[in-house]
Amino acid sequence: MKLAPFFLLPLLLAACGEAPPPPAAPKLVRTLKVGAGSPCAPGTPLCGQVTALDGADRSYSGEVRARIETTLGFRVGGKIVERRVDVGAAVKAGQVLARLDAADAGLQATQAEAQLALAAAELARYRDLKARNFISASALDARETSFKAAEAQAGLAKNQSSYTTLLADRNGVVGQVLAEPGQVVSAGQPVFRLTPDGEREIAIALPEGELGGFKAGQAAEVTFWAASDPAARPLVGRLREISPVADPVTRTFAARVSLKDADPLLPIGMTATVRFPTGAAGATKLIVPLTAIFQQGNQPAVWIVGADNTVRLQAVSVSAYTDSGAVVTGGLAGGEQIVAAGVNLLTAGETVRVSPQVTGK
């Protein structure tokens, strides 16, 4: 048993003589040169620079709309017997727009007036009897209550009768007619859509792929196709809101651009062009593939490959994420060699091997 260690000695000597394993080879990465090639398209290995990609040339067609649109309807139900305005008519506050058949309302008002007259006569008689002490005070109080109820009913019937006439509640333009004479409508059913005079804005539709490049409050310039002077300066606008839900048919997102110093009587439906400048005309935007963006918390960054093939992380500013790639507006000057894929597998200072680049079309 004491000789066993001598049998293991040759094995231990052989193990100590083995060479250490070779170091792991540097990771192979695909890179691109920022500002070279063409815009990032599916299957294109290189990305490039695009002039005014998200800038002065980005414009959309829209139409003038009112910020607030009012739907008008009768406060009582009935049959429409008259409509006095058509689509596009300019109306004033208090102007008659339509009427209902007032026969039933008139009969109800007459009935209520008769009941009020009877209650008034009864009250006068009971007051006289109470003055002679022929009735109790409680009996007089009952007649007082009956008279007040009849008076309120008469006032209600009178109001109901007046509701058979639909009036414009403010100055504006009739944008839509939703009911016609002969039609029986219920209380509150929309009959007209009124566009009040006042603040105007432009309604546009934003494509789904470009939605990331917009935010509320963004500056805009608005021009009108019907402008008499082509050299007239465009109106200043702001992107007021973007719908959170896409149109189910067009797959676009409705947006509204508010106008500064616009004519409150600007015709509804007029065609306009909305332009979103994000810098000086001709400004250069750099596009990199979406796979090259490394998200460091809330800060996007890219890996830059140095002359010694080591990588370092460079924070960048991204103005939009599009189908063509990420639009970089800060952090890159152009000419840098960046890692195009596998950015989540790298660490700062790591040495990498650069794969041969394939020139895109």
For residue range 103-150, list pLDDT tens digits in order: 988 899 999 999 999 999 999 999 999 898 888 999 999 999 999 999
Instruction: Name the residue type at position 259.
Output: L
Q: Which of the pair, 37 or 120, is modelled with greater confidence?
A: 120
DSSP characters for 342-361? -GGG--TT-BEEEPPP----
Least confidently predicted of 9-13, 27-31, 129-133, 270-274: 9-13
Span 7-29, average pLDDT? 61
Span 59-77, average pLDDT? 90
pLDDT at 40 (0 to 100): 54
- pLDDT-derived band at 43 (thresholds 50, 70, 90) equals very low
pLDDT at 53 (0 to 100): 44
**Of 18, 42, 45, the residue nearest 357 (C-alpha):** 45
Check whether 8 has a pLDDT greater than 70.
Answer: no
Span 231-235, average pLDDT? 72
Query: In CATH, what number does 27-52+283-354 get?
Result: 2.40.420.20
State residue 322 phi and psi, 5-degree precision: -120, 175
Q: Where are the domains of the chain?
A: 27-52+283-354, 59-67+198-275, 71-101+166-196, 102-163
- pLDDT-derived band at 20 (thresholds 50, 70, 90) equals low
Q: Is 0.75 topped by the overall pTM? A: no
Assign 160 to helix, strand or coil.
helix
Q: Give CA–CA dist 271/331, Å, rounded.
A: 39
Exposure string over 317-343, b if 16+ CB within 10 A, otherwise e: ebbbbbebbbbbbebbeeebbbbbeeb
Q: Which of the pair, 188 or 298, is modelled with greater confidence?
A: 188
Check whether 60 has a pLDDT greater than 80.
Answer: yes
**Which token pair is 37?**
């090639």
CATH of 59-67+198-275, one of 2.40.30.170, 3.40.50.300, 2.40.50.1020, 3.30.360.10: 2.40.30.170
Under 8 Å between Cβ of 26 and 352: yes
- Tell me if the domain spanning 71-101+166-196 has CATH number 2.60.40.2470: no
**Of 117, 105, 104, 121, the residue nearest 150 (C-alpha):** 117
Query: In CATH, what number does 102-163 get?
Result: 1.10.287.470
- pLDDT-derived band at 46 (thresholds 50, 70, 90) equals very low
